[in-house]
Amino acid sequence: DSVTVHCRGGRVARGRRVIVALSPTLAGRIMYDPPLSGYRDQLTQRMPNSAAMKAFFVYDEPFWRAEGLNGQLISDVGPA
């Protein structure tokens, strides 16, 4: 299986997978073939944009596990 991405301007990229790192609202503006599943399509149409940020960090050791933590952080009151 492979994926082909046609970019504006004519550039074409091919690969085994594609990571769509956009908000659901913006991701819904992409033309998919085959189309997104009905549930995913509804999400892209109905989920409002918000001030959200996602980041991934890689460490040599999972030091947080010794404290019983899972490595996730969510905050709705300001900088994390």
Residues linked to residue 6 through DSSP beta bridges, in sequence order: 12
Is 60 a residue whose pLDDT tops 90? yes
Is 7 a residue whose pLDDT tops 80? yes
Within 8 A by CB and 6+ apart from 45, the residues are 28
Q: Please state, in angstroms and rounded to a whole number, the distance separating the CA atoms of residues 4 and 73.
A: 34
Averaged pLDDT, 51-55:
72
